[in-house]
Structure 1
Amino acid sequence: MYRDHSVAAVVPAYNEERFIGDVVREMPPFVDRLYVVNDCSTDSTWEAILEAAQTDARRRIDREGAVADRVERIRPDGGENPALAARATVHEPIGRVVPIDHRENRGAGGAIKTGYLAARAGRLDIVVTVDGDGQMDLDAMPKLLDPIVDGVADYAKGNRLLAPDHQRSMPRFRLFGNALLSLLTKIASGYWKLSDPQNGYTAISRDALEAVDLESMYEYYGYCNDLLVKLNARSTRVADVSIPAVYGDEKSSIVYSTYVRNVSGMLLRNFLWRLETRYLRFDFHPVVLFYLFGAGASALGSLGVLWSFLSRGRSGESLFVRVLASTQLFLVGWLFLLFAMVFDMQENEDREVVIHE
């Protein structure tokens, strides 16, 4: 328990035999339940999970006794859970650890989704996500929990970019890609103050977890970005918390050419879905009209300039006049897009907070 709130941790693991044991054993004592998801690893990750769980259980019994017994009474998956049973085998708890074994490899987002489904059914107050590669500072977990316990936010995420020394610790190629995805996610999600959106160190309240559509959650590496869009559609309050990452000799399994293509497409679809859900279905706001007119006008203006040069000489009309008219239409379109972004920022201003330290 953390400040009278029960806490679960979802830990995805794929070929993390070198790191997953330490993550399980070093999990803070206030975490009541660990849903450790083995994503069809091809190494000894599963054995490492079971060994670490047994070690952790013995330590907790020796140290806490009655607390360990209380944890055993938390439901591991809430009983009947068809969505979870269709994708994974949920094993009996070993102390506070619930080992979950995927039937097929689903990627990082798929493992998080599986853990969320189990945690949602277990009905714990707060669910934290922690990668199985040891990159996350477990001692910093209270910084994610406090905004939720204090009622400031219903979702809190780590941010490696808020402090200059944190930025310097991040490899340059990751820093550039992070900045690009931050911009795209701001537009798609409506959370304009947030950055480092693909940071997987997060905490979410039970109410927020039950409000979002977990069954449709994106199952690739952009799951964090996807969840932010879903949360905004539900007008969820979020907090961006300054937390450094710990980079070791672990290797990323991301194929960046595929990653950028897939996540960019997902963000575009999510952006359109958010506008329809938030500003048309649940309520009406003219931001939708500004976005639509701005996008249409800028696209027509761009095509007009291109067509003017391709068709020059075929018409008696001056090329300068046609290019000028198309450029003006393009600029008007961008002006409407900027107005739409300003309206979107104002609408979400009270739904996000940045915590530097």
Structure 2
Amino acid sequence: MYRNHRVAVVVPAYNESGFVGDVLRGMPDYVDLVIAVDDDSTDDTWAEILTTAAETEPTAETATAVARHPDAPATPLTERATVSDRVGRVLPVQHRENQGAGGAIKTGYMAAVERQVDLIVTVDGDGQMDLSIMTRFLDPLIDGGAGYAKGNRLLYREFREQMPRFRFVGNLTLTFLTKIASGYWRMMDPQNGYTAISRDALVAIDLDDLYEYYGYCNDLLVKLNVAGVRIADVPMPARYGEEQSSIKYGTYIRRVSLMLLWNFLWRINAEFRSGRTLPTLAGYYLGAGLTGASLPLLLWTALPLAGVGVPAPPSPVSGLLSAVLAVLLGGGLLVAAMTLDRARNRPLEVQPSP
């Protein structure tokens, strides 16, 4: 228990034999329950979870922390995973089939909301997250009025310098796209899997609909924004060990970008139905429509003037000026919509104390 709050930690693990055991052993003493989710691994991950769990000692609060809350909503947890009896302070959970990183997190969340825990942390099973800084994620939920806290490896130069260049560029790209999609404009490093969330915030979203690919963390931010949940970015250094990532970044960025586009449309339309964002919605749609319609005209008029051998329009100069003005107007509407969106969502972001 941490500051009179029961704490559960979800540890997703897929083929993390040799790593996940150290993660379970390293849990701080105040953690009441560790939900270790084996995502149908093909190595000895499950055996390592069970063996390590037997080495752990339950805290005084664990007996009540693992009891299913009588008011907990029904979840399809048992349809997707086998939930074993608690061993020490570890609740071993095994997927019947591989469901991806987001699927393992979703399963852990389902198990957590059924139990009397107040705060749920997520850490990866590869040992690359510093468990000694976990309280930095818990404190904003207790003190700062936030419902969700996530790590940020991009805030300080000395932290982001430890990140490989290709990951840094990809992270910046997805940070910008997630800002637009989620409405959390001050947020950075949305791919960070070191997080903490309150039970109230978790039950405020449609947990069954949580994205199950690697972009689950981006999807969760969008859902939290629509639910009006305040978030906090927690500065932390990048940390990489011997474990190699299995993410194919080309596929990853493409799939997550498409998911974010859909989520963006869902968010602004959900907010429009609530009557809160008519000017923002109009700016986004008119700006995108005008820009999208004007770009082909801009190319059609600009290429002949540049000497490219394509048929020229009847009045290339006037057509070019019209296209440029239309693109500028569309871009201006998009910038105005983003500015309104940022101002409206600013109260939903808090900055924790260093």
Alpha carbons of 1:331 and 1:49: their partners in 2 closer, same or farther (altered >3 Å)? same
What residue number does 1:177 align with?
A: 170
Contact between 2:75 and 2:110, CA under 8 Å: does it hold in 1? no
What residue number does 1:132 align with?
A: 125
What residue number does 2:318 align with?
A: 321
1:168 is displaced (CA, Å) by: 1.4
1:81 is displaced (CA, Å) by: 4.3
Alpha carbons of 1:282 and 1:205: their partners in 2 closer, same or farther (altered >3 Å)? farther
1:354 is displaced (CA, Å) by: 2.9
Contact between 1:127 and 1:205, CA under 8 Å: does it hold in 2? yes
What residue number does 2:158 align with?
A: 165
Q: Deviations over 1:65-91 (max 9, x none)?
A: xx1xx4123335558944101110111
What residue number does 2:38 align with?
A: 38
- Is 1:249 aligned to 2:246, yes or no? no
What amino acid is aligned across from residue 223 of structure 1 in structure 2?
A: Y
Structure 2 unmatched runs, 5+? 305-309
Q: Name the CA distance, whole Å, in 2 between partners of 1:35 and 1:293.
A: 47
- Is 1:56 aligned to 2:56, yes or no? yes
What amino acid is aligned across from residue 328 of structure 1 in structure 2?
A: L
What amino acid is aligned across from residue 37 of structure 1 in structure 2?
A: V
Tell me the secondary structure at the aligned position of residue 220 of structure 1: coil
Q: How does 1:18-29 map to 2 (within 5 A)?
A: 18-29=18-29
Tell me the secondary structure at the aligned position of residue 8 of structure 1: strand
Q: Name the CA distance, whole Å, in 2 between partners of 1:76 and 1:25.
A: 22
Q: Name the CA distance, whole Å, in 1 between partners of 2:208 and 2:35.
A: 18
What residue number does 2:347 align with?
A: 350
- Is 1:332 aligned to 2:329, yes or no? yes
What residue number does 2:290 align with?
A: 297
Tell me the secondary structure at the aligned position of residue 55 of structure 2: helix
| TM-score using structure 1 length | 0.93
Contact between 1:242 and 1:356, CA under 8 Å: does it hold in 2? no
Contact between 1:137 and 1:245, CA under 8 Å: does it hold in 2? no
Alpha carbons of 1:115 and 1:313: their partners in 2 closer, same or farther (altered >3 Å)? closer
Q: Name the CA distance, whole Å, in 2 between partners of 1:97 and 1:164.
A: 37
What residue number does 1:260 align with?
A: 253
1:23 is displaced (CA, Å) by: 0.5
Contact between 1:119 and 1:127, CA under 8 Å: does it hold in 2? yes
Q: Name the CA distance, whole Å, in 1 between partners of 2:322 and 2:109.
A: 53
Tell me the secondary structure at the aligned position of residue 35 of structure 2: strand
1:25 is displaced (CA, Å) by: 0.8
Tell me the secondary structure at the aligned position of residue 55 of structure 1: coil
Q: Deviations over 1:175-211 (max 9, x none)?
A: 1111111111111111111111010000001110000
1:285 is displaced (CA, Å) by: 3.3
Tell me the secondary structure at the aligned position of residue 56 of structure 1: coil
Q: Name the CA distance, whole Å, in 2 between partners of 1:277 and 1:154.
A: 20
Structure 1 unmatched runs, 5+? none
What amino acid is aligned across from residue 168 of structure 2 in structure 1?
A: L
Contact between 2:36 and 2:91, CA under 8 Å: does it hold in 1? yes
- Is 1:12 aligned to 2:12, yes or no? yes
What amino acid is aligned across from residue 65 of structure 2 in structure 1?
A: I
Contact between 1:21 and 1:48, CA under 8 Å: does it hold in 2? yes
Q: Name the CA distance, whole Å, in 1 between partners of 2:15 and 2:350.
A: 35
1:39 is displaced (CA, Å) by: 0.2
Percent identity, please. Answer: 51
Larger mean CA deviation between 270-279 and 336-345 belongs to: 270-279
Contact between 1:162 and 1:356, CA under 8 Å: does it hold in 2? no
What residue number does 1:205 align with?
A: 198
The alignment of Structure 1 onto Structure 2 pairs a total of residues equal to 347
- Is 1:145 aligned to 2:149, yes or no? no
Contact between 2:201 and 2:229, CA under 8 Å: does it hold in 1? yes
Alpha carbons of 1:109 and 1:33: their partners in 2 closer, same or farther (altered >3 Å)? same
What amino acid is aligned across from residue 342 of structure 1 in structure 2?
A: T
| TM-score using structure 2 length | 0.94
Alpha carbons of 1:193 and 1:183: their partners in 2 closer, same or farther (altered >3 Å)? same
Q: Name the CA distance, whole Å, in 2 between partners of 1:16 and 1:225.
A: 24
Alpha carbons of 1:262 and 1:76: their partners in 2 closer, same or farther (altered >3 Å)? farther
Q: Name the CA distance, whole Å, in 1 between partners of 2:127 and 2:311.
A: 65
Contact between 1:11 and 1:34, CA under 8 Å: does it hold in 2? yes
Q: Name the CA distance, whole Å, in 2 between partners of 1:298 and 1:158.
A: 35
